[in-house]
Amino acid sequence: MRKILLFALLLITSLSVQAQIKFEEGYIIKNGNERMSCWIKNLDWRNNPKEIEYKRDQNGVVETANWSNTKEFGFINQKVKFISAWIKLDRSSEKQNSLSKSPEPVFNEEGQFLRVLVQGDASLYLFEDENSYKFFYSHNGSEIEPLIFKSYLEGTEIRANEEYKNQLYTNLKCEAITRDLLRATRYRDNDLIALFEKYNTCKNPSGTATAFKQEIVRKSALHLSARIGLNTTSASFDSNSKNFGEPYVDFGNKMTFRIGAELEYILPLYGNKWSLILEPSFQSYKSEIIQDGYTHSLDYKSLDIPVGVRYYMHLNDKSALFINGIFSYNIDLGSKLVYTVYKQPTEVNVDPVYNFGIGAGFRFLERFSFELRYATNRSLVNTQTQYDSKYNTTSFILGYRLF
């Protein structure tokens, strides 16, 4: 049974990974200003793409495009848009242990796709990869220029070159853009988007400036679910000392019941795909065996408190595949372990340690879900080095979202 559950868990995880990568309806504008409707492989880019894959229709052949042959691309009914540009890019690190001692940016000219954040009389763009997070802008038809920001070391102090504030004050002239406003504007997308929207509204109140930052629409950020399920659990116990022939005891596989609740907080990031979960649950395991004429028994009861991260792959508005990564803290609820050596029963103190788990599942009709979860080994005698124990669980969990 456990092998079947593990196989199903791996299968759902594989399907989940595949489900998040799909072709969605969009468009591409080639360098000759020819606009083409197509289906683009949506990788939910955190980093700016170097190239994209697309099909001219849903069943067409996969083709590729990059910044050198593509002027612009985006998705239909989504606030996602990229343009290609030849830019001056400063790749100086912002990591504290890799900061330069010079406040001056080091520019290299590169061709890249830039994510459009605001488009109007003044436009704002973002370039992001594993090491860089840089903003660019243009105004009144000017060339795209970098907004200069660089952290650096002065002795042991971290300081910042915030030249971008002077650039914006010089080039975005409008009564709404004041020195005080610029002093408070951080080198962050939310701050800069708000500033560019304010400028465009001030400059042209009847204009059509557009913000392309994806809107996070959450019906509710907090959810509570009832969770019940079945565990298939194996347990064993051994002594690290074999001076008196202490036996290894396999308590066997047992099917047990679990019950709990899940509190989930949907993070306002990347289209509601990430959440934090807290899932206290009661679990138990009971076994008694006679081995070589001696009786050994385990009556284990615990309150498990898993906390973790969940990632959703939305299939439509009411269904999604998901994968979890969890850390579980375990509270013993009066468990009892009896280990018998030479007719001498010894009650061993049960002291469970934390463990980790992975899970994958499916949520449907908004409220219902099922999940397969595998928990790594949990030692039941953590503070007693003379003993060794193993406790492994694979779970099938049903959930019903209350709100």
Report pLDDT digits (tens) over 212-269. Answer: 765 444 456 889 999 999 999 999 888 887 666 678 888 889 998 999 999 999 886 6
Report pLDDT digits (tens) over 125-135. Answer: 999 887 778 99
Greatest Cα-to-Cα distance within the chain, rounded to the nearest angstrom: 92
**Cβ–Cβ under 8 Å, residues 297 and 337:** yes
Does residue 33 share a domain with residue 153? yes
261: CATH? 2.40.160.20
Quote the percentage of the chain above a pLDDT of 90.
48
Report pLDDT digits (tens) over 298-333. Answer: 999 999 999 999 998 877 767 889 999 999 998 889
Domain boundary among 154, 176, 211: 211
Does residue 61 share a domain with residue 46? yes
- In the prediction, which pLDDT does 7 show? 52
CA distance 331 to 283: 10
The answer as to whether 17 is a domain residue is: no
- In the prediction, which pLDDT does 217 show? 45
The answer as to whether 397 is a domain residue is: yes
Mean local confidence (pLDDT), 380-385:
79
- In the prediction, which pLDDT does 261 show? 95
Does residue 128 share a domain with residue 86? yes
The answer as to whether 83 is a domain residue is: yes
Does residue 133 share a domain with residue 225? no
Q: Please give the residue range of the domain that contains residue 65.
A: 23-211
Mean local confidence (pLDDT), 41-51:
81
Does residue 390 share a domain with residue 255? yes
pTM confidence score: 0.59
For the ranges 39-43, 107-111, 177-181, the lowest mean pLDDT is seen at 39-43
As for how many domains the chain has, the answer is: 2
Band of the pLDDT at 206, cuts 50, 70, 90? confident
The answer as to whether 352 is a domain residue is: yes
Does residue 163 share a domain with residue 270? no
Listed in sequence order, the residues at least 6 apart from 90 whose beta carbon sits closer than 8 Å to its beta carbon are: 105, 106, 107, 108, 132, 134, 146, 148, 150
Does residue 389 share a domain with residue 273? yes
Mean local confidence (pLDDT), 88-111:
89
In this structure, what are the phi and psi dihedrals at residue 323, rounded to the nearest 5 degrees? -130, 145
